[in-house]
Structure 1
Amino acid sequence: MYKKISFLTLGAALIAAPVLAAPGGAKADTDGNGTLSRAEAQAHAAERFAKMDYNKDGKIDAADRTAKRAEMQAKKFASLDADGNGSISQAEWTNQNAERAAKRAERVAKRAEAGEAGDGKRHGMRGHGKRGARHAMHGGMMAKADTNGDKAISQAEFQVAALARFDAADANKDGQVTADERKAQRSEWRAKRAAPAAPAS
């Protein structure tokens, strides 16, 4: 149970795992020919691993989640500490809240202009639901990538998982994944998520 929860949390915190969730996309297609080769998928996996390994210790684990959180907190503090004196005054806090409220009002106005429903609560709930589903999916894939069960993912494990996703998407086994093959794989995942869970025996 602990392993499952820790990896779900890690997957959510690292947002991560697009390379595990799919064999790659436009960014991975470095030669821009509209298809993804296995070599491109492997290079993209190495790039993603490097970005996710925040503390650069050669593995992805809870320590990276902590490092990422600390980085985000530091950036947030810096954005609040307008004069850079190492502390946040009442005025700085008030200004930040005012700016946030103004941006929120601007987003609401843009949605109204676009003819979208103004029920912010409903939009928020729907958004959180989608993010939660993605995080759960990524968390499950991260757990599967941890083949030795040490609650950490090495670069080798990450590569194996990424290439397994590539091979699964490569329907005709020609060493290339086309946009149509990626679309078919996404449709398959959506169908699996929509399918009712099997009753416990």
Structure 2
Amino acid sequence: MTKRILIATLLSLTTAAAGTLAVAKPGFGPERHKPTFEQLDTDGNGALSKAEIAAMGQARFDAADTNGDGLLSAEEMTAKAQQRIAKRTAAMIERFDKDGDGALSAEEMPQRRGPQQLLDKADTDGNGSISKAEFDTAQAILETVMKKRHHRGGPDRQGHQMDAE
């Protein structure tokens, strides 16, 4: 399974790219607010109703609807995305800036799954390169992973939330 995930990551890195932060799924990253059960249980009866959960969603919508017209314009959605990006960026710099200069050098950047490690996972014959057949196999694995995510409502390649069918 780890091999499949690494191959999927390799392929998604080659196809997804830069725009994913701008459309990141709300609720992920350092700014994520996890309400407590007590905060969600607004009537204090020890159980969460559909109405209480819906109220939380409405509150999030209302917070993003800065002009109060009941609609989210492109500008409001962009502003919200920019806020998330700014918070995520600040948290990343705070976490990885070892020399304290307020910026990340190439050496300070997190190295979770380097390109060489991903190449090694896709290179099933161990010859140091990825053949067309290995690439096609990796693509097929990626498509299978994406279909499974789609069926359970996970994000697609670009990080967009997909509804389960």
TM-score normalised by L of structure 1: 0.32
Larger RCO of the pair (alpha carbons < 8 Å, separation 6+):
1
Higher-helix-fraction structure: 1
TM-score normalised by L of structure 2: 0.37
Higher-strand-fraction structure: 1
